[in-house]
Structure 1
Amino acid sequence: MVRRSPGSKLLWTVLLYFLAQGQSLDLKDLMDRAVQQSDKLHFLSASLKHDLDSHLPVTMGKIPRLSLCHTSSLNTPTEKSHALSLPEAELLSLIRTLLLSWKDPLLALSSETLSLAHPYKNRLSTKAKQLHEHSNNLSTGLKTLADRMGTLPSSHSPISYDKNLGEDIESQTVNFHFLLSCFRRDSHKIDNFLKILRCKAGILQQACQ
């Protein structure tokens, strides 16, 4: 018989509680919570980029174009009308794929922030870690939402990213700025797509207008 330590018992109890909470929520509550989490994610990415830009200006000519973001190969809607025309399952699949494509890059941002030559790198590090945690929380919530909606596993594969931020200070700064700019763009997409999905599910109809 396996004995659990008091700490592991507490963690298991907390996990069971949150699982029960998720199972007891109706679709509207799950949608609302997902949108609230995506709002936080986008706000935090904008706040982190503002902190970086305010104290460590980077020559824009050195920053790659957003069209070179690793997620640019994903065929995501560029117009609201296109997103509205997609079936709910397809739209949710795209949202989850886009978010999962940022799992490794956000981990890189959160783990390498302290190596930046920045006067407030501790603040940046704290926000980068929060960004990673919020992303994981949203990913868990979207899985619960997909299960509740009865959607099939995603037909899209997350875009892999296995690069580090670089060896020298300049390349670290440029790559950090570039990744953060890409994520801010994609977090805005995720937020908008989720609000459209909530509308298509018959919740908060004004988002469809």
Structure 2
Amino acid sequence: MARRSQSTRLHLAVTVLMCAFVSTDGVDMNDLLERASQLSDKLHSLSTSLTNDLDSHFPPIGGKMMRPSMCHTSSLQIPNDKDQALRVPENELLSLARSLLLAWSDPLALLSTESTTLPHPERSNINSKTKELQDHTNSLGAGLERLAFKMGPSSEALSSLPFYNNNLGQDKISRLANFHFLLSCFRRDSHKIDSFLKVLRCRAAKMRPEMC
């Protein structure tokens, strides 16, 4: 019951943020970045919650197999830490965040489809949260498009990061391991997106670098 209540509160909070992106006419850059960074933070929290749901019954699966270099987004050259991110121009940071988010359109659709029949005791909960993850990612993507439009053409460039898998395997272990692996990659990337947006928010507010 506590887990369901926590999920409901998270869903309501993110729904409010999603609605805030519906109309952004007259909204300044600082407010847009604040909304985007709040939504990206919720997105990362939801992906962490989903990972914990999977690990609750199958802790060995995925964790030992997952290597960041195997994620389909690993070819994108991105800052390794906050200090590096602070040195990247604003338009490039936004492009990186948008490229990472766009690269998860197909993988999240696959996870959403597979979650309906995933051989896991928490399948119903995982299915619900996976669909939320997909919806919230689409909402954040729309918000970042509006940000890119306000920042100008230099922020609209995107890197192509194709995803070629169309299934997670046939046997139970493969499906669980591949689901976990993809989710772990998304959790890693959602943290990067959240970090980039917080740096952008910090710069827009003209805060000192050490305060970011």
Normalised by the size of structure 1, how large is the TM-score?
0.85
Query: In the alignment, residue 199 of structure 1 is paired with which amino acid?
Result: C
Match of 1:52 among 54, 60, 66: 54
Give CA-to-partner distance per residue, 1:169-209, whole Å, 9 cap, x none.
Answer: 11111100100111111111110110001112235556754
Contact 1:48-1:124 within 8 A present in 2 as well:
yes
**CA deviation after TM superposition for structure 1 residue 37, in Å:** 0.6
Aligned equivalent of 1:182: 185
Query: Secondary structure at 2:72's aligned position in 1?
Result: coil
Indicate the percent of aligned positions where both proteins have the same amino acid: 51
Give CA-to-partner distance per residue, 1:39-91, whole Å, 9 cap, x none.
Answer: 11000000000011012333457623122111111001002121111111111
Q: Aligned equivalents of 1:207 and 1:115: distance in 2?
A: 47
Give CA-to-partner distance per residue, 1:87-119, whole Å, 9 cap, x none.
Answer: 111110111001111111111111111221111
Contact 2:109-2:134 within 8 A present in 1 as well:
yes
Query: In the alignment, residue 127 of structure 1 is paired with which amino acid?
Result: K
**CA deviation after TM superposition for structure 1 residue 166, in Å:** 1.3
Normalised by the size of structure 2, how large is the TM-score?
0.83
Q: Aligned equivalents of 1:203 and 1:23: distance in 2?
A: 23
1:61–1:89 Cα change, 3 Å: closer
Unaligned runs of 5+ in 2: 1-18
Contact 1:101-1:159 within 8 A present in 2 as well:
yes
Aligned equivalent of 2:68: 66
Query: Secondary structure at 1:55's aligned position in 2?
Result: coil
Give CA-to-partner distance per residue, 1:111-157, whole Å, 9 cap, x none.
Answer: 11122111120110000000001100000000001111224364342
Contact 1:106-1:132 within 8 A present in 2 as well:
yes
Match of 2:86 among 79, 84, 87: 84
Q: Aligned equivalents of 1:183 and 1:177: distance in 2?
A: 10
Task: Give matches, 1:146-161, under 5 Å.
Answer: 146-152=148-154, 154-161=156-163
Contact 2:85-2:93 within 8 A present in 1 as well:
yes
Query: In angstroms, what is the RMSD of aligned CA positions?
Result: 2.1
Contact 1:28-1:203 within 8 A present in 2 as well:
no
**Count of residues in Structure 1 that have an aligned counterpart in Structure 2:** 193
Contact 2:92-2:155 within 8 A present in 1 as well:
no
